[in-house]
C-alpha cells in the first residue's frame, strides 16, 4: 500500500498536509509540495474546505465517515499539472462520467439513482420488465468468469432489450420530466461552480455516459436550472415523434463496456436541446485538438473515455464511492487522484484553478 490518504480536500493536501493526516500504513511518494490556488479564489476555497470538512463529520447522508483525498504519486501529478498549465487553456478539455461521478453516490441516506435507474415509464408492467432484465444482466456485468468479448455481447443485448422496452411500453418525454422530478438524484456539491469556472475559461466538458442523454439533460435542467455552452453529452439519445412519444434511439448503443469507442464523434451539443441560440462552442475536430485532459470517473473502466483522443497529458480523477478497502489499491494505481467517501467537487475545482491560473486565461 503506497497510497497516502490526505484528509478533507485537495487544497488541504497542497497547502497544509502534515504527517499527522496520513495513516501509518500509508506512504506517499513525493507528497508535500505546496501549491496555492489562484489568488482571487484563495479565500473562497478556504471557506469551501471548511464546509466540506464539517459536512463529512456530520455523517448524515449515507454511511460515509468522512472525506479523504488520495494521491499515489505526488511528483507525477505535479509534473502533469505543470505540463497542462504551460500548454494553456486552449489545449485542455474535461471528460467526465455522469452517474456517481458528477452525481452523488448517496442521496438522502440512500443510494442515489442513475440516469437509467430513475426512469419510470408510466407503465408498471414495463418498469417491471426492465427490472427483470437488470436482475439478470447486472450480475453478468461483474462476473469474473465471463470473457470480455462475450460480456460485451451480453451488455449490448441488455441495453438493446431495455431500449426496446422503452419504445414498446410507450415512453413519453413527459414521463422523463416526471421521473427526474421525483428521482433520488443530486449533483455533488461544487459541480455548478466547476462548470461555471470552466465555461468562463472556454474549456469544453464532455459528459460521457452509458445512460440516457435525454435524462441527463433533464437532470441538468431541473437540478442546475441553467445551461452551459461548454457542455456536450455523449450518451444514448432518444428520438421522439411530434406527440412526444419515444419512437427510436439514435446512433450506436453506448453500454458500460464500449464507453471507450467513438466518443468524440458521437458528441452532440447539449445547448441545441436547451435552446441556446449561440450554437456550438466547439466541434469534434477542435475538441480532438485539445490534447490535454482532465478525466473524471468512478470506475476504472472510465479511463477508456479518453481512448478516442491521442492525448499528451491526462490527469485522471477517480471517485471511489464504495468497497473502499477492497478497491483503494487498484484505484490508486489507475487514477492520479482518488476521492473517497462521496467527496464533493471542490477538490476538482481547486485543481482546475491550478491548471488554469488567472494570468493564462
Show which residues are catalytic: 97, 99
Taking the complex as a whole, the smallest distance from the CB of residue 99 to Mg ion amounts, in Å, to: 4
Distance (Å, rounded) from C-alpha 97 to C-alpha 297? 5
Q: How many CB atoms lie within 10 A of CB 327?
A: 17
Taking the complex as a whole, the smallest distance from the CB of residue 111 to Mg ion amounts, in Å, to: 13
Q: Which stretch binds Mg ion (CB under 5 A): 1-9, 165-173, 186-194, 296-304?
A: 296-304
73 binds Mg ion (CB under 5 A): no
Q: Which stretch binds Mg ion (CB under 5 A): 2-10, 194-202, 216-224, 291-299?
A: 291-299
Q: Which stretch binds Mg ion (CB under 5 A): 14-22, 131-139, 269-277, 290-298?
A: 290-298
Q: Which three cell numbers stand for residue 140?
A: 453478468
- Total residues in contact with Mg ion, by rule CB under 5 A: 5
Q: How many CB atoms lie within 10 A of CB 141?
A: 15
| Interacting residue with Mg ion among 214, 298, 342, 350 (CB under 5 A) | 298
Q: Which three cell numbers stand for residue 113?
A: 439513482
Tally of residues, the chain: 361
Report whether 275 contacts 79 (CB < 8 A): no
Pick 99 or 175: Cβ nearer Mg ion: 99
| Interacting residue with Mg ion among 72, 73, 99, 336 (CB under 5 A) | 99
| Interacting residue with Mg ion among 68, 72, 97, 217 (CB under 5 A) | 97
- For Mg ion, the nearest residue by Cβ is 99
Q: Which residue in 246, 241, 233, 251 sits closest to 119, CA to CA?
A: 246
Pick 204 or 318: Cβ nearer Mg ion: 318
4 φ, ψ to 5°? Answer: -105, 130
Neighbouring-strand partners of residue 236 = 212
Type and span of the H or E element at 236: strand 231-240
Taking the complex as a whole, the smallest distance from the CB of residue 271 to Mg ion amounts, in Å, to: 23
Neighbouring-strand partners of residue 313 = 292
Taking the complex as a whole, the smallest distance from the CB of residue 194 to Mg ion amounts, in Å, to: 17
342 binds Mg ion (CB under 5 A): no
Of 100-159, binders to Mg ion (CB under 5 A) are 100-101
Torsion of CA 127, 129, 133, 135, to 10 degrees: 70
Taking the complex as a whole, the smallest distance from the CB of residue 298 to Mg ion amounts, in Å, to: 4
Report whether 223 contacts 201 (CB < 8 A): no
Which positions touch Mg ion (CB under 5 A)?
Answer: 97, 99-101, 298
Amino acid at each position: 500500500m503506497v497510497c497516502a490518504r490526505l484528509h478533507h480536500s485537495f487544497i488541504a493536501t497542497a497547502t497544509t498536509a502534515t504527517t499527522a493526516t496520513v495513516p501509518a500504513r500509508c506512504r506517499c511518494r513525493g507528497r508535500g509540495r505546496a501549491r496555492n490556488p489562484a489568488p482571487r479564489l484563495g479565500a473562497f476555497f478556504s471557506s469551501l474546505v471548511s464546509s466540506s470538512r464539517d459536512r463529512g463529520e456530520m455523517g448524515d447522508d449515507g454511511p460515509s465517515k468522512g472525506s479523504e483525498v488520495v494521491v499515489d504519486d505526488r511528483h507525477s501529478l505535479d509534473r502533469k499539472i505543470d505540463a497542462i498549465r504551460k500548454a494553456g487553456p486552449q489545449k485542455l478539455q474535461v471528460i467526465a462520467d455522469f452517474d456517481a461521478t458528477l452525481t452523488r453516490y448517496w442521496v438522502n441516506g440512500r443510494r442515489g439513482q442513475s440516469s437509467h435507474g430513475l426512469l419510470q415509464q408510466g407503465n408498471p408492467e414495463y418498469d417491471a420488465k426492465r427490472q427483470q432484465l437488470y436482475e439478470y444482466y447486472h450480475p453478468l456485468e461483474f462476473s469474473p468468469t465471463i470473457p470480455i468479448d462475450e460480456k460485451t455481447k451480453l451488455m449490448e443485448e441488455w441495453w438493446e432489450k431495455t431500449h426496446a422496452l422503452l419504445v414498446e411500453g410507450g415512453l413519453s418525454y413527459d414521463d422523463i420530466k416526471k421521473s427526474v422530478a421525483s428521482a433520488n438524484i443530486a449533483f455533488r456539491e461544487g459541480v455548478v461552480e466547476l462548470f461555471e469556472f470552466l465555461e468562463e475559461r472556454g474549456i469544453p466538458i464532455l459528459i460521457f455516459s452509458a445512460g440516457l442523454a435525454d435524462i441527463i439533460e433533464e437532470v441538468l435542467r431541473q437540478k442546475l436550472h441553467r445551461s452551459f455552452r461548454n457542455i456536450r453529452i455523449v450518451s444514448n439519445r432518444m428520438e421522439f415523434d411530434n406527440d412526444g412519444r419515444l419512437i427510436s434511439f439514435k446512433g450506436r448503443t453506448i453500454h458500460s463496456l464500449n464507453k471507450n469507442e467513438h466518443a468524440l464523434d458521437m458528441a452532440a451539443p447539449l445547448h441545441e436541446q436547451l435552446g441556446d441560440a449561440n450554437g456550438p462552442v466547439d466541434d469534434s475536430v477542435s475538441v480532438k485538438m485539445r490534447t490535454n485532459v482532465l478525466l473524471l470517473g468512478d470506475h476504472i473502466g472510465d479511463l477508456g473515455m479518453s481512448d478516442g483522443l491521442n492525448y499528451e497529458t491526462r490527469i485522471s480523477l477517480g471517485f471511489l464511492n464504495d468497497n473502499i478497502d477492497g478497491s483503494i489499491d487498484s484505484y490508486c494505481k489507475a487514477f492520479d487522484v482518488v476521492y473517497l467517501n462521496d467527496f464533493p467537487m471542490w477538490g476538482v475545482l481547486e485543481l482546475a484553478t491550478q491548471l488554469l491560473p488567472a494570468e493564462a486565461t
